[in-house]
Every structure is written in C-alpha cells, then in structure tokens.
Amino acid sequence: MFKKLREVSGKTSLATKIFIGLGAGILAGIIFGEGMLPYEFIGKIWVNLIKMILIPLILFAVISSITSQKDTSSLGRLGLKAMVYFGLTTIVASVIGILLSYLLKPGKGFDLMVSEGAAIELPDDLTVESFFMNLVSSNMFQSFSEGNMIQVIVIAILLGIAALKIEDVQKRDSVLSWFNYMTELIFSFVWMVIRLSPIGVFFLMAGSIGQYGPELLGSFSKLIGTFYLGILAQIFLVYGIVVWFSAKVSPLRFVKDSSALWLFTISTTSSVASIPVNLDVAKNKFKLKERISNFIIPLGSQINHDGNAILLSCIVVFTSQATGVDLTFFTLIKLVLLGTLISSGGGGIPGSGIIKVMIVVEAFGLPIEIGAMAAAFYRLFDMGITTANCMGDLAGAVMIDKTEKVEAEEVPVSQ
C-alpha cells in the first residue's frame, strides 16, 4: 500500500522537498507581494486533487483496518482507547492555552474597538440529540457528496463490522480482497499527487504571504506568539511524554521523524488532506501496524482538535484582558469544558474554526469582534492548529500500537 509513497519520501526526501517549496514560497511572497496572488490557484488545484480522493481513501482505509482486526472486541478496545486519549489531550490543550495566556498576558495594552449592536447568529442545533443524530447518515451518497467525514467514518465502521459478520468464509474473503485492491488503487493515486507537494506548497505559501505581507502579525503578534508557544508545549511536552512512556521515543526524535507530516500540515492546513502522509509516517518511520494506524489516524482527524482547544482558550483570555473583564476560577473551568466540547465539533463545516471562536467568545459574554479579527489571521492560526491535531493523531496511534503489542504478549498461549 505504501510502497510508492515510501519511494517518494525516501529517507527524508519528501520532507526536504516540501521544506524547499515552503521556504521558496515565503521568499516569493515577500519579494513579489500581491503579484503572487493570481498564481495561488495552482496550489489550490493541488489541494483539490487530494481532497477529491479523500472520501474513498478514508472509507477503504477504515474498512480495511476494521476487517484486519481479530474480532469486534478488539475493535471496541481500540475505539475506547482512542476516545479516552483524544479527550484527555484536548482537556490538557485547553489548560495549556489558559495558563500561557495568563502568564504572557497577550491582551494587555491591546486596543479593542467594540462596535455597538454587534451580534452573531449562532447555530441552533448544538444539542446532544443533534450531535448523535448527525453521526448516522440517512443517505450515504449524500454524506459522500457533502464531504461529511464523521458520517463517512461511521459508515466505514458499520460496513467493516458487517464484512466481519459474513458467515460464508469464501464470500467474506472475496469481499475483503476487493476492499484491499481498491485501497491499493487509491494509494497509487495519492502517490501521484504527493509527488507534486513541493509545487503545491510553493504557490500556497507565496499567495498567503503575498496577500498579508510582513504586517500580517501587527497588533496580534502577542496573541499569535502565545498560541504557538501553546502548540509547541502540546507537541513536545504532551505528545512527547506520550510517545516517550509508551514507545521509548524521545520528543526530539518524534518531531524529527514526523517532519514530513508537520511540513505538510503547515503548508496545507488540512488535517484530512494530511491523512495519507500521516499514515505513511506511521508505517515507515514508527513501524506501526496498519490495522491500528489506519483506524486511529482517520478517526483522530475528525474527533481530535487539540489545536482548536488551545486557540479557543487563548482568544477568550486575550479578549477578557483586552476588555478588562476578569474571569473567575469557575469560569475558567467552564472554558476548559466548553472549549473541549466545541473544538471537537464542526468537522466538515467550511470556516468552522472561526465559527467556534465566535461561539465560545459569545458564550462568555465577551465582544465577538475578536472573532471577526481572528478571521483575517486564521490562516496563521490554522497552520498551528492542523499541525497539533495531526501530531496528536500520530502520537495516539504510536501509544495505542504499543499498548496493543503488550496486550497481545500477555494473552495466554491456550487462547
């Protein structure tokens, strides 16, 4: 499955090529400025080439992962571990955002001009009932066409379980073989697109830098700096500790061996588009079992949003400091819980990150203009958000893979 991807990336050749494209794009954006904007569509076409295959990629990768499990009980064990891991790391991410924001005080001295009568129309379907109802599709082809990734994953899980339940062994093997062949075809297509990564990255970054320029930071520089310190803390401390204790991999090695992934996420700002690279890194750099990485990483791309949790916490505290509003201890606890819940939703919604920011800011009675301001800088935030999310998916796959190995060794020979 990953043979051609491995040939492209080599030892670190894919990461090196992406890095060169990234640096050249930034340089071109600074030199030519807005003159690079007309060519940004080339990078967007490259991203579209990845996105067009993502639905079948996730569908067949998850189904193949499930059908490679020993039984449905092992599948349930993987799902439980994933949910606990992603939930805990998101809570920690919210706490990190709060602590750094109070320590560095990015909102102090920020002149926030609040316009009167500003309001936001919040979605009215953010209920427990609607959340679970939206997990199950009433029309799988509609879910495919709309790009509803969480529904696609649920469909893949159900189809995978159904395939395992086929009683006729010969028919079951035929079905599983077909899924495996389709997976090979899809990854062959992905291989062709991945080879174009340096070109796509160049035009994406050149367009972004050309549009915003060096003044992109401006008065938001302290907030951006605080946010990225939180991202680094999450990657090196939280994920680093996870891989260190579970797989004896040092944080520095974890970051080094995943360089192809985080260079890709910085460039594309798409957790879903990064799934092929993440799967390749998991297999070839960390030697994870495909039945685990093919399940955990696509699942994490939809339910793991640690980067969002850090941003939401930073912006709420930033806004409170800019407006002189003191947040009580119980309010901060509410921020952690609400940030964890809100950051985990909205998968597949265009601009959902900005919507989440506005929802959380409004929930605490703070001026929502900060959400509109953040929209102008969201590309910068999104690079860190996507990187943290995908690195968290990889760290979770590493941890769960190693614990599964331990459990397999502990099974009595008689079983």
What would the pLDDT profile of 313-343 be if each residue is shown by its tens digit?
888 888 888 777 777 777 777 777 766 666 6
Residue 413 lies in a domain: no
Q: CB–CB of 384/227 below 8 Å?
A: yes
Question: C-alpha angle 138/348/314, rounded to 5°?
Answer: 140
Q: What does the pLDDT average to over 123-140?
A: 68
Q: Would you say residue 252 has pLDDT above 90?
A: yes
Closest CA to 272 of 55, 18, 61: 55
Label residue 354 by pLDDT band (50, 70, 90).
low
Greater pLDDT, 53 or 348: 53
Mean pLDDT, residues 69-89: 78
CA distance from start to end of the chain: 31
Confidence at residue 412, expressed as pLDDT on a 0 to 100 scale:
42
Residue 315 falls inside a structural domain: yes
**Residue 63: band (very low, low, confident or very high) from pLDDT cuts 50, 70, 90:** confident
- How far is it, in rounded angstroms, from Cα 176 to Cα 261? 29
Q: Average pLDDT of 205-231?
A: 75
Tokens, residue 95: 């706490």
Q: Is 12 exposed, middle or buried (0-12, 13-18, 19+ CB in 10 A)?
A: middle
Query: The tokens of 15 are what?
Result: 């990461």
| Integer-rounded Cα radius of gyration of the chain | 22
3-state helix, strand, coil in the chain (%, to 5): 80, 0, 20
Amino acid at residue number 98: I
pLDDT of residue 221: 81
pLDDT over 80 (residue 312)? yes
DSSP 325-383: PPPPHHHHHHHHHHHHHHHT--TT-TTHHHHHHHHHHHHTT--THHHHHHHHHHHHHHH
Domain for residue 414, yes or no? no
Predicted local confidence at residue 377, as pLDDT: 67
Confidence of residue 295 (pLDDT cuts 50, 70, 90): confident
Could you tell me the pLDDT band of residue 251, with boundaries at 50, 70 and 90? very high
- Structure token digits, residue 281: 């890194």
Q: What would the mean pLDDT of 370-395 be, rounded to a whole number?
A: 79
Mean pLDDT of the chain: 77
- For residue 126, the model assigns a pLDDT of 47
The encoded tokens of residue 40 equal 């940004």
Asked if residue 178 belongs to a domain, the reply is yes
Which residues, 6 or more positions from 346, have their beta carbon under 8 angstroms from its beta carbon? 352, 353, 355, 356
More confident residue, 48 or 69: 48
Confidence (pLDDT) at 96: 95
Q: Average pLDDT, stretch 212-239?
A: 81
Segment among 10-14, 50-54, 64-68, 240-244 with least mean pLDDT: 10-14
User: What is the per-residue DSSP string for 238-292?
Assistant: IIHHHHHHHH---HHHHHHHTHHHHHHHHHH--TTTTHHHHHHHHHHTS---HHH
Contacts of 385 (CB under 8 A, 6+ apart): 231, 269, 305, 307, 308, 310, 311, 353
CATH number at residue 243: 1.10.3860.10
Q: What is the mean pLDDT of residues 47-71?
A: 75
Residue 70 in this model has a pLDDT that exceeds 60: no
How far apart CA 20 and CA 324 sit, in angstroms, is: 44
pLDDT at site 370: 62
Phi, psi of 395 (to 5 degrees): -60, -40
| 415 found inside a domain | no
Residues 145-172, mean pLDDT to the nearest whole number? 82
| The predicted structure's pLDDT at residue 336 | 75
Q: What percent of the chain has pLDDT over 70?
A: 73
Number of compact structural domains in the chain: 1
Domain that holds residue 193: 3-408
Q: Does the pLDDT of residue 8 top 50, yes or no?
A: no
Q: In which band, very low, low, confident or very high, does the pLDDT at 213 lie, cut at 50, 70 and 90?
A: low
Q: Which amino acid is at 305?
A: H
Q: Give the span between the Cα atoms of 392 and 225, in whole angstroms.
A: 20
The alpha carbon dihedral of 43, 49, 55, 57 has a sign of negative
For residue 242, pLDDT over 90 is answered with yes
